[in-house]
Amino acid sequence: MKEKMKAMVLYGPKDIRYEEVDKPVCGDNDVLLQIKAIGLCGSDIRTITYGHYKVKYPQIIGHEITGQVAETGKNVKKFKAGDRLYVSPVVPCHECKACRLGYEELCENLTVIGTEIQGDYAEYMLLEEKVLKNGVVLSIPDELEYEQAVITEPLSSVYACQENCSITLGDTVAIIGMGPIGCLHTALAKIRGAKAVIAIEQSEERLNKSKEFGADYLINSSKEDPVAKVREITGGWGAEKVISACPSTDAQNQAISMACKKGTVIFFGGVPKGKLTNIDTNIIHYNTLTLIGHYGYSNLQARKAFSLITSGRLDAKKFVTHVLPLKEIEKAVELTRSGEAIKVVLKP
């Protein structure tokens, strides 16, 4: 008889069930991971609510992954039972044109754990040969808890963004959206030497929390005009870097208007499919702005994000506000949606 495990299985939009499924069988080249801490990501909430075009139902989703090696295949030499691991969910092929050009995050054959293959909303997950060979699987130092190591995933993307657009010493950085991503952007911008971070958010609760991560100025965009306010704070000049980290076309539009001359505007978060942003392109033209789209991260950037956490440069503990059992995912989603939680970590 097949061994069983508990898992959270997504059957379709708004249909997720906690149930017993077959436990994966560890092949000769695989590692069987016992999941320890799972990050609940905003994109998971979107997938649970609206579905995802790449997910084949029923699917065990989840892509912010930490766990302990339960079993290794006989050909696996690099890992052994008991190893504590962080696993990056994006696995590039290293062969396509994008990969060869160094843009692994844009890999044409990208495998995403929790989308195309089983994720970590379960007691166990298989790390197949492809993941072990082409992905990023890192050993978590003893002194670091799983709950903190799991922050590596969202931080990887934030790290990649700030590295790609060179947030640097002396920049004033305006960040729209103070969810977990906005808070990570805030903390990282300060580490990179930003002179000031201006946090912009509609929820008073989230806005207040951003102070903890180093935000210097807070703007509640449901109460005041964020563009006018950024101009006021910067003596009329505007922000050197503006990051739109919320799924809003209005935010994207405002971002362009609050950047300084020669400033850089980054569209970090996607907007709902089909929604168009009305932009006065003359602002980009006359102010010679740089407009950057951001998505994903390379293997190297994932490693760098991990080392920011393991070295203690970025205090991951602060971001984890709630730890809940996996079966209470609905509560976790609610806590995240309401803004009460910054990051909820789930445990199988």
Q: Which residues bind Zn ion (CB under 5 A)?
A: 41, 92-93, 96, 99, 107, 153
Q: Which of 190, 33, 43, 201 is nearest to 123 (CA)?
A: 33
The nearer residue to Zn ion, 71 or 153, going by C-beta atoms, is 153
Q: Find the farthest-apart pair of alpha carbons in the chain and give their distance in angstroms, rounded.
A: 71
What's the min distance (Å) between Cβ of 63 and Zn ion? Answer: 6
Question: 160: number of CA atoms within 13 Å, CB side?
Answer: 23
Which residue, 158 or 259, is less far from Zn ion as judged by CB?
158
- Nearest alpha-carbon partner for 64 in 125, 130, 134, 129: 125
Least distance to Zn ion from the beta carbon of 105, Å? 10
Q: Least distance (Å) from Zn ion to the CB of residue 150?
A: 10
Break the chain down into helix, strand, coil percent, rounded to 5: 35, 30, 40
Cβ closer to Zn ion: 79 or 267? 267
Q: How far is the CB of 204 from Zn ion (least distance, A)?
A: 25
* Closest CB 121 distance from Zn ion, rounded Å: 13
Q: Which amino acid, residue 138?
A: L
CA distance 245 to 56: 28
**Contact (CB, 8 A) for 107 and 283:** no
In the complex, the smallest distance separating the C-beta of residue 154 from Zn ion, rounded to whole angstroms, is 5
Asked if 279 and 252 touch (Cβ cutoff 8 Å), the reply is yes
Alpha-carbon distances, residue 246 vs 177, 255, 267 (angstroms): 5, 11, 9
Which of 40/199 has CB closer to Zn ion? 40
Judged by beta carbon, residue 194 or residue 245, the one nearer Zn ion is 245
Give the nearest distance from C-beta 99 to Zn ion in angstroms.
3
User: Residue with structure tokens 């942003």?
Assistant: 277
Query: Judged by CB, which is closer to Zn ion: 259, or 335?
Result: 335
The amino acid at residue 222 is S
**Closer Cβ to Zn ion, 96 or 271, answer by number:** 96
**C-alpha closest to that of 115 among 66, 67, 51:** 51
Distance CA 152, CA 348 (A): 19
Q: Which residue blocks in 20-108 are alpha helix, DSSP H?
A: 42-50, 97-100
